[in-house]
Amino acid sequence: MASDPIGELAADIDALLVLFERVDEQHWTRWASAVRTDIANSDAHCLTRVLGAYGGMGSFNDLLIHPLNGHRVTLSDVDDVNRQLDGLRTRIRQTALALRRQPRG
């Protein structure tokens, strides 16, 4: 775990927002923006918001960036973009879980 897990989470959310802007992902941009606001406001609710997006039908895990889903991405870039998404999605969840396990001071 990084020495600044909140900073790591913020950086990964920022990278996710850049990716979403690039491919014109609307729904999950609103979620990521709300998470980023929570982080900026030091609101611990951000962990609940992050972890609540994983699992179940229509969850963040189900997001696939693809032109057929209305995203602005070429077919030749679909695999690379989704690999990037998967990496960010995994790191964001892992960081949020680690933060939730930390003792509260």
Report pLDDT digits (tens) over 41-88.
999 889 999 999 998 899 999 999 999 999 999 999 999 999 999 999
H helix count then E strand count, the chain: 4, 0
Contact 36, 18 (CB under 8 A): no
Contact 83, 64 (CB under 8 A): no
Question: Would the pTM count as exceeding 0.85?
Answer: yes
